Amino acid sequence: MSFDSLGLHEALTRALADAGYTTPTPVQTQAVPAALAGLDLMVSANTGSGKTASFVLPALTKVLAARGDGKRRDKGVTYGPRVLVLVPTRELALQVTQAVSNYGRHVQGLRVASIVGGVPYGAQLKALRGPIDMLIATPGRLMDHMASGKAILANVELLVLDEADRMLDMGFIDDIHHIAAALPASRQTLMTSATFGGPVGRMAAELMREPQRIEVASHTEAHADIEQRLHWADDLSHKNALLDHILTERSVEQAVVFTSTQRDADWLADRLAELGHAVASLHGGMPQGRRNRVLEGLRRRHLRVLVATDVAARGIDVPSISHVINYGLPMKAEDYVHRIGRTGRAGRSGLAVTLAERRDVGMIQRIQRFTTQRIPAATIAGLEPQRAEPKPDARPGGFGGRPARPGAGHRPFKPHGRPAGEGGAERRSFDGAPAGPRGPRPFTDGPKARTGKPPMRPRAR
């Protein structure tokens, strides 16, 4: 099947051809025709499956249909967006906005606005004036503009809730209902989610009309293009040695290293910079402008290593990421699936490595039960663990020993656990310029990654 057979406008098929896409993925094959037919959809698909295009393409088709010939704007003025896309994070909003720009490159005069927190209001207020074809927004900032009367949603024809499960996890359920109440009852609604059980299913029942369910893949299916490995570490020093060895391998094109906390992300990025890696951290405590520059540095390959928290697990789509390394384990087993989905994209193969200490046994057990797959244990010559590997019990994904305590997969930041000899050098920014002694590391989008030696924070007393 080709994209031409899906009933898409010529402007969209030409953009897809420009991007090198000739054949739709399974989720696009099922979701695009159903969405074009005006049906409400509940879509489940793995990361990297092309689900963003499965709702962006029908949304752009709706915009083109409203214009008649795809070139002229509507007669008269239609205020506010025709299509509203709600996303849980700023990173995902950036990814969706980029997809709209790519697939809509031949749609003349396409107006797209992104409304997210952490950025000044001025540019957003300007974008909200007059007609908008598509609005991509996080719920909190959109509600701010609704309260001020600047966001007009009375003409929305299509509502998309992308990664609805994540939005509910982040506490946006009341915000979503408030936003939906301001939309026309006749709108079409598309919803994507890893699962439609529990609260997500109840929300879908309240917001949608006889939705069609499309489930192309689930979290229990193997990631065919991603090899998974588990390395047991005796302690923090051993874990750092394993990480250092992996990052020096020639097979590492670009790597995302996940930590459990923002402080761990900053500390580990500093440590890797000392070793000469082109590295930056990414987490929710950073200003949005700097986060955008970090992601742009990753896309332009100015960065070889990105150290990130789970805020980056959904929304990074960089095909050249060859390795995902779980340095700190996630708080929830499903986040493991989204983390490793950052590699093995666009038909490439990838490697997902988990570095676990004995305290992480409980989370490893929950991840393996969630995915119904065992993560194969591996060793590195010369860095074998001195302690015996935990023995699995008879249960799928289980390990012997005491039951895991809640939150066992999360290791809090411990400054006194750092190996000696990692401090004393000048802190530098991404382009090598000196930076201040406190606060977030500055980041610019210069041609060189920072390779200076930033200082470590003082030891805890």
pLDDT of residue 220: 54
Specify whether 206 is located in the same domain as 236.
no
pLDDT of 458 strictly over 50: no
Specify whether 205 is located in the same domain as 234.
no
Specify whether 193 is located in the same domain as 230.
no
Tell whether 102 is covered by a domain: yes
Specify whether 203 is located in the same domain as 316.
no
pLDDT of 392 strictly over 70: no
Tell whether 356 is covered by a domain: yes
pLDDT band at 341, cuts 50/70/90? confident
pLDDT of 297 strictly over 80: yes
pLDDT of residue 168: 87
Domain of residue 329 covers 226-261+309-413
pLDDT of 243 strictly over 90: yes
Specify whether 47 is located in the same domain as 87.
yes
Which of 181, 215, 249 represents a domain boundary (last residue)? Answer: 215
Count of the separate structural domains present in the chain: 2
Question: Per-residue pLDDT averaged across 285-294, rounded?
Answer: 85
Tell whether 369 is covered by a domain: yes
Which of 413, 433, 448 represents a domain boundary (last residue)? Answer: 413
Specify whether 172 is located in the same domain as 201.
yes
Mean predicted lDDT score pLDDT of the chain = 81
Q: What is the CATH number of the domain that holds 240?
A: 3.40.50.300
The answer to whether 104 and 110 are in contact (CB under 8 A) is yes
Q: What is the DSSP string of 341-394?
A: TTSS-TT--EEEEEEE-GGGHHHHHHHHHHHT-PPPB---TT---SSPPPPP-S
Tell whether 118 is covered by a domain: yes
Specify whether 179 is located in the same domain as 242.
no
Beta bridge mates, 212: 41
pLDDT of 411 strictly over 70: no
CA dist., res. 161 & res. 154, Å (int) = 17
Most confident of the following: 62-76, 175-189, 394-408, 437-451: 175-189
Question: Per-residue pLDDT averaged across 214-221, rounded?
Answer: 68
> Coil, helix or strand for 205?
helix
Burial of 426 (0-12, 13-18, 19+ CB in 10 A): exposed
pLDDT of residue 83: 96
Tell whether 111 is covered by a domain: yes
Tell whether 437 is covered by a domain: no
Specify whether 254 is located in the same domain as 157.
no
Tell whether 17 is covered by a domain: yes
pLDDT of 355 strictly over 90: yes
pLDDT of 326 strictly over 80: yes
Which of 196, 215, 234 represents a domain boundary (last residue)? Answer: 215
Specify whether 30 is located in the same domain as 141.
yes
Full strand arrangement of the beta sheet holding 305-308: 226-232, 350-356, 323-326, 255-258, 305-308, 279-282
Specify whether 168 is located in the same domain as 232.
no
Specify whether 351 is located in the same domain as 240.
yes
Question: Given CA atoms 326, 196, 175, 210 in this order, what sign does their dihedral have?
Answer: positive
Tell whether 433 is covered by a domain: no
Specify whether 343 is located in the same domain as 371.
yes
The answer to whether 453 and 432 are in contact (CB under 8 A) is no
pLDDT of residue 286: 86
